[in-house]
Amino acid sequence: MANLKEIRSRITSVGSTMQITSAMKMVSAAKLKRAQDAITQMRPYSNKLTELLENLSFNLDTPSTGKYTEKRGLKNILFVTVSSNRGLCGGFNANIIKKTKELIKHEYSSSNPHILSIGKKTSEHFAKNKFNIVKQSDELFSDLTYNNVKDVAEFIMNAFIDKKFDKVVLVYNRFKNAATQIVMTENFLPLEEKNTNSNINMDYLFEPSQEEIVKDLIPKSLRTQLFKAVLDSHASEHGARMTAMHKATDNAAELKKELTLTYNKARQAAITGEILEIVGGAEALNN
């Protein structure tokens, strides 16, 4: 059994760790509220924009839409991975890395994979493992705005139009609640034709033409889709970190309780031993 000094030192260390994890949990909870509000407000707009684009582009085949819908042989695939810049958030980053590797190994095993990483954790991992990283956008989370994400979306769209990549896939965590994040894979480019019901109300007045509207809506929809994915991941990160720190705080409290019990037992045993020595010495003197 460890001596009393070692146990006291461990109790102090665990107590300090518990204070840190508890503080990190509260900070993440405050940040989660803002991030959750942002993605909650963004989703209806993004969904409506996608719905509007699908309705307007139904049976519309023009050069302006064709450059985003062109299907090619899957020679070069770009994976846009969205992770975090910091750790201590459970399996949040590991799940993104694992899913990306699964896609590369199985679904796109015959293609040449490229990585565009948003978040230091995926950047560091894929760089360490010699993956082909075409761009790192780790600074986005320092100032998460639509304009900053738009620049990344423009880079991806231009690379696809220039035929540097034949397909672009998003891999990110979708926020469900503070305790649940769902790993998502979305086809970013080329745009896929959706099954649209023929009875959809298409009683629109177009100004300017339908083609011009679709031409402007497609890039905007793609920028919005990427921004939504980053916001989803941002909210998921804080939810995952809050949950991880909550569990860490509970585990530290339980460990501190066990160490305190061990300390009390060791102290009681030491006192009992000292009493027995005193009694034994007294009896020796009497004899």
Backbone conformation region of residue 152, classed left if phi is above 0, alpha if psi is from -120 to 50, else beta? alpha
Which residue in the block uniquely carries the two structure tokens 């956008």?
137
Q: What number of H helices and E strands is found in the chain?
A: 6, 5
pLDDT of 2 reads: 62
- Check if the beta carbon of residue 230 is closer than 8 Å to that of residue 85: no
pLDDT of 256 reads: 94
Taking the C-alpha atoms of 249, 241, 31 and 170 in order, what is their torsion angle to the nearest 10 degrees?
A: -170
- Each residue of 115-168: pLDDT tens digit? 999 999 999 999 999 999 999 999 999 899 999 999 999 999 999 999 999 999
Q: What is the mean pLDDT of residues 58-78?
A: 77
pLDDT of 61 reads: 59
Query: Does the pLDDT of residue 198 top 50, yes or no?
Result: no
- Check if the beta carbon of residue 141 is closer than 8 Å to that of residue 84: yes
Query: Does the pLDDT of residue 266 top 50, yes or no?
Result: yes
Domain ranges of the chain: 21-193+201-244
- Each residue of 238-252: pLDDT tens digit? 999 999 999 999 999
- Is residue 201 part of the annotated active site? The answer reads no
Query: Does the pLDDT of residue 197 top 60, yes or no?
Result: no
Catalytic entry in 89, 169, 240, 259:
89
The CATH number given to 21-193+201-244 is 3.40.1380.10
Which residue in the block uniquely carries the two structure tokens 């804080």?
238
Give the helix, strand, coil percentages of the chain, each rounded to 5.
65, 15, 25
- Each residue of 4-61: pLDDT tens digit? 889 999 999 999 999 999 999 999 999 999 999 999 999 999 988 888 777 776 555 5
| Cα angle 235-240-242, degrees, rounded to a multiple of 5 | 95
pLDDT of 191 reads: 85
- β-sheet with 180-189: strand ranges across: 133-136, 112-118, 76-82, 167-177, 180-189
Backbone conformation region of residue 269, classed left if phi is above 0, alpha if psi is from -120 to 50, else beta? alpha
pLDDT of 55 reads: 72
Cα 235 to chain center, whole Å?
Answer: 8
Model's pTM, two decimal places?
0.86
- Phi and psi, residue 105, nearest 5°: -75, -35
Give me the chain's average pLDDT, please.
89
